[in-house]
């Protein structure tokens, strides 16, 4: 009889300061979760761990049962009922009988009444079957918890930021578990956690301590000392007791009698680097007017490709409302010319401009519709006059290195042309990590002098290759890299850099 693998994806990066709600419909990137065969169809062949798990099932001649695939862009916590609607199909599939379970999880999901959603998922599965082999792939921005480690057999996580190794990460976790099912490996894990809340703006390997740690982790995997070594820099916008920098290492007890000690040594070394260099995980922003003036000056001289202005404090890819207009306002105030901006989420403005139609002149109160009491920020729209240049249905397919091949949905999308700026306005939230966001509505990013992106690091996947210069612009919003704007209540204290340790 062939083996039966249960493969599921439940992913949400929860920003507990975000003003954005997370209804069930937010999963599936706005179209609701996929169940059963639909889940398989939605993710097969994409650059995701889920797709890697499907390939492993095929390779092992196993039946792939896919109860649920549900991923929402980051936002505030989902309700218990929403969480249960995602987890119950998975529990039912495991209860029906299986040989192993492969989970594509985020690692920073918080649910109303549960600060450790991934630990809860794993505990529930363990309760159904105490000896179930479970492989988990996590996002880089995981706040690792004791329950997750105690209840998974194998854990891996992304080693890239932007995350372009999603498939590879799933393949590594899934392959170790598949080998253990064949009796060829006996995975054991060690892990550690640091009281260190690190700024996402300092997470990219080229920017802070992560590069050195990831190089070491890769070298350890390549040497064969361990099966997998994962750094998890954490997600600082989830206010939980698990928030921090962690590492988890898998070693093979079949090949190495001291596997657990080996795994612990490698893990400790990774975290020692993070702690020694902890000051480099803090971000020190430049005043906004100064950043925009710097971009403007760069634009005055000859350059190949656009200058990127990164509006990183309001990144919907980490829970931002995507409608804070501060950086746009400054760009227009300083008269930057030939700018593409996007995307601004504003369903009301979209409705108004769609009703006006392509070619119409409009007066719009753009953005600033969202109140953010968690950081004391009020919505402030920007009054703009311009022409409706284009209208699309916002249905896109990623062709860049992130989520390659996956479909996504911007909702109805309008290009508002103010003369100096072409602003992409969408109905739904979407981080601009792929040039398709502009191209699908008739803007060729490579030809623009300036591009303003509501993103933090993921824009680098699609836009860094064409950029002449990159200027980080500190606006405002719930993804502010300055962690002192947040009123943390649930973090373990003392914690660096909020406390002097």
Interface residue list for Zn ion (CB under 5 A): 139-141
Which residue in 4, 232, 222 sits closest to 137, CA to CA?
Answer: 232
CA dihedral 95, 38, 122, 216 (to 10 degrees): 140
Give the C-alpha distances (Å, rounded to integers) separating 429 from 20, 347, 410, 424, 499: 10, 10, 7, 12, 34
Least distance from C-beta 228 to Zn ion, angstroms?
18
Tokens of 207: 């920017």
Strand locations in 119-273 (E): 134-138, 154-157, 187-194, 228-232, 245-252
Q: Which is nearer to Zn ion, 141 or 448 (CB)?
A: 141
How far is 247 from 267, CA to CA, in rounded Å?
6
Q: Which is nearer to Zn ion, 22 or 413 (CB)?
A: 22
Least distance from C-beta 491 to Zn ion, angstroms?
19
Least distance from C-beta 79 to Zn ion, angstroms?
23
Q: Is the dihedral of CA 82, 84, 87, 93 positive or negative?
A: negative
Q: Which is nearer to Zn ion, 62 or 213 (CB)?
A: 213
Q: Which is nearer to Zn ion, 140 or 433 (CB)?
A: 140
Which residue in 7, 429, 483 sits closest to 201, CA to CA?
Answer: 483
* Residue 157 contacts residue 233 (beta carbons within 8 Å): no
**Angle separating helix axes 166-181 and 49-59, nearest 10 degrees:** 30
Least distance from C-beta 453 to Zn ion, angstroms?
17
How far is 244 from 239, CA to CA, in rounded Å?
10
Least distance from C-beta 14 to Zn ion, angstroms?
12
Least distance from C-beta 203 to Zn ion, angstroms?
8
Tell me the CA end-to-end span of the chain in Å, nearest whole number. Answer: 57
Q: Give the CB-nearest residue to Zn ion.
A: 141
Least distance from C-beta 381 to Zn ion, angstroms?
30
Residues contacting 257, CB < 8 A, separation 6+:
none
CA 382 vs. chain centroid, Å, equals 28
Q: Which is nearer to Zn ion, 138 or 450 (CB)?
A: 138
Q: Which is nearer to Zn ion, 225 or 430 (CB)?
A: 430
Q: Which is nearer to Zn ion, 140 or 398 (CB)?
A: 140
Least distance from C-beta 493 to Zn ion, angstroms?
25
Least distance from C-beta 108 to Zn ion, angstroms?
8
Tokens of 349: 């403005």
Q: Is the dihedral of CA 53, 57, 58, 63 positive or negative?
A: negative
Which residue in 355, 413, 348, 358 sits closest to 381, CA to CA?
Answer: 348
Q: Which is nearer to Zn ion, 30 or 162 (CB)?
A: 162
Least distance from C-beta 212 to Zn ion, angstroms?
19
Q: Which is nearer to Zn ion, 29 or 141 (CB)?
A: 141
Q: Which is nearer to Zn ion, 5 or 281 (CB)?
A: 281
Residues contacting 464, CB < 8 A, separation 6+:
308, 470
């Amino acid at each position: 009889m062939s083996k039966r693998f249960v493969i599921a994806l439940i992913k949400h990066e929860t920003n507990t300061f975000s003003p954005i709600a997370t209804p069930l419909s937010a999963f599936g990137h706005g179209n609701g979760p996929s169940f059963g065969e639909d889940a398989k169809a939605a993710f097969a062949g994409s650059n995701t761990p889920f797709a890697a798990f499907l390939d492993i099932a095929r390779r092992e001649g196993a039946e792939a049962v896919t109860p649920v695939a549900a991923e929402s862009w980051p936002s505030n916590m989902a309700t218990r009922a929403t969480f249960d609607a995602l987890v119950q199909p998975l529990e039912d599939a495991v209860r029906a009988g299986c040989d192993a379970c492969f989970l594509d999880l985020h690692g920073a999901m918080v649910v109303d009444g549960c600060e450790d959603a991934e630990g809860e998922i794993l505990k529930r599965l363990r309760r159904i079957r105490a000896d179930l082999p479970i492989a988990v792939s996590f996002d880089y921005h995981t706040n690792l918890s004791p329950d997750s480690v105690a209840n998974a057999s194998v854990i891996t996580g992304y080693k890239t930021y932007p995350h372009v190794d999603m498939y590879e990460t799933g393949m590594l976790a899934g392959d170790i578990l598949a080998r253990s099912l064949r009796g060829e490996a006996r995975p054991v894990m060690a892990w550690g956690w640091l009281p260190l809340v690190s700024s996402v703006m300092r997470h990219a390997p080229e920017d802070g301590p992560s590069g050195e740690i990831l190089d070491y982790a890769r070298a350890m995997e390549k040497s064969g000392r361990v099966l997998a070594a994962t750094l998890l820099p954490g997600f600082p916008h989830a206010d939980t007791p698990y928030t921090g920098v962690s590492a988890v290492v898998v070693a093979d007890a079949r090949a190495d009698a001291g596997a657990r000690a080996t795994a612990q040594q490698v893990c400790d070394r990774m975290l020692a680097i993070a702690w020694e260099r902890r000051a480099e995980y803090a971000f020190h922003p430049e005043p906004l007017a100064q950043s925009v003036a710097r971009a403007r000056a760069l634009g005055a001289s000859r350059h190949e490709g656009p200058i990127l202005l990164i509006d990183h404090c309001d990144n919907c890819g980490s829970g931002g409302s995507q409608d804070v207009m501060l950086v746009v306002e400054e760009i227009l105030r300083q008269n930057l010319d030939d700018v593409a901006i996007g995307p601004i989420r504003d369903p009301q403005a979209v409705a108004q401009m769609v009703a006006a139609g392509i070619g119409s002149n409009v007066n719009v109160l753009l953005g600033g519709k969202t109140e953010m009491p968690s950081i004391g920020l009020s919505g402030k729209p920007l009054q703009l006059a311009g022409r409706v240049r284009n209208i699309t249905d916002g249905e896109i397919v990623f062709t860049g290195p992130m989520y390659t091949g996956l479909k996504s949905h911007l909702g109805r999308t309008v290009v508002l042309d103010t003369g100096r700026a072409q602003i992409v306005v969408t109905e739904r939230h979407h981080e601009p990590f792929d040039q398709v966001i502009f191209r699908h509505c008739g803007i060729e990013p490579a030809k623009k002098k300036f591009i303003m992106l509501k993103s933090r690091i993921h824009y680098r996947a699609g836009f860094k290759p064409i950029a002449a210069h990159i200027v980080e612009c500190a606006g405002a919003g719930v993804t502010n890299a300055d962690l002192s704007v947040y009123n943390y209540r649930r973090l373990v204290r003392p914690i660096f850099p909020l406390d002097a340790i």
